[in-house]
Structure formats: C-alpha cells, structure tokens
Amino acid sequence: MAPTPAVEAPVEEQPLPNAVISRDAKYQIGQVLRHRLFDFRGVVFDVDPTYANTEEWYEAIPEEVRPDKDQPYYHLFAENERTHYVAYVSEQNLVPDESDAPIKHPDIAKVFEVSDGAYVLKPGQRN
C-alpha cells in the first residue's frame, strides 16, 4: 500500500498593512436617525466602517460619554429646533427615527432625491 501524501495546512491570509477592517453597518445611507442622548435627528449620507475623524475631535468628547472607535460612524445632514449642521455620530448613539417628519437640511437636495418621504441617492452620488 502506498503511503498517504502529506497534506499541508492552509496558510492563513495576512491582511495588508494598510487594510481597513470591514464592519457591517446597522444603518444605511438615506435612513433617518435620531441621536439617543441629544435632541437632533438627520439623514445618513455617508458611513465610515470605524472612526475616521481627527484625534483632537475625539479627545474633545467627554470621557464618560466617549464612544469606542471600533464601530461604524455615520455622517448625517442633521437638524434640531434651532439649526441644521453636519453631524458625525457613532452607531451606538443612533436609533431609527419613527416620526416620518421630513429633514429640512438645505444640503439634502445636493445628494438625495426625496420620493414619498424616502431619501434616495442621486445617480451621480453613488460610489
């Protein structure tokens, strides 16, 4: 009987040095969300798989409420009762907005078409 050939164990693939680890985002572009602690809501226009802002901005968040960097972060066209702005928020601090009220941020028209209350990316905005 012939000897059984040796089977080599598969070599684990090593990530590239500059590789970004992919994270699954809970929310999607065009979805209306509200902040779970602060009184504002907005529509998602971009998602980072992990924190991608400056260290200075991150350190400015009070330590007792500073979110973990290793989670999706969302760019929102945001508004509150007084103003509109762009917000950068961790996934843990967002919840779906159930109000069905429109977001009135002036930059929405540059990125989205609004159809029956839904925010749909304009064709030129898709990656």
- Residue range 32-125 forms a domain whose CATH class is mainly beta
pLDDT attached to residue 5: 52
pLDDT attached to residue 66: 94
Q: 98 near 92, Cβ under 8 Å?
A: no
pLDDT attached to residue 19: 47
Q: Looking at the DSSP assignment, which residues form a beta bridge with residue 30?
A: none
The pLDDT profile of the chain, 127 residues, written as one tens digit per residue, is: 555 555 554 545 555 554 445 568 999 999 999 999 999 999 999 999 999 999 999 999 999 999 999 999 999 999 999 999 999 999 999 999 999 899 999 999 999 999 888 999 998 776 6
CA–CA gap between residue 23 and residue 25 (Å, rounded): 6
Q: Cβ of 87: how many Cβ atoms within 10 Å?
A: 20
Q: Cβ of 42: how many Cβ atoms within 10 Å?
A: 27
Q: 101 near 43, Cβ under 8 Å?
A: no
Predicted model pTM: 0.80
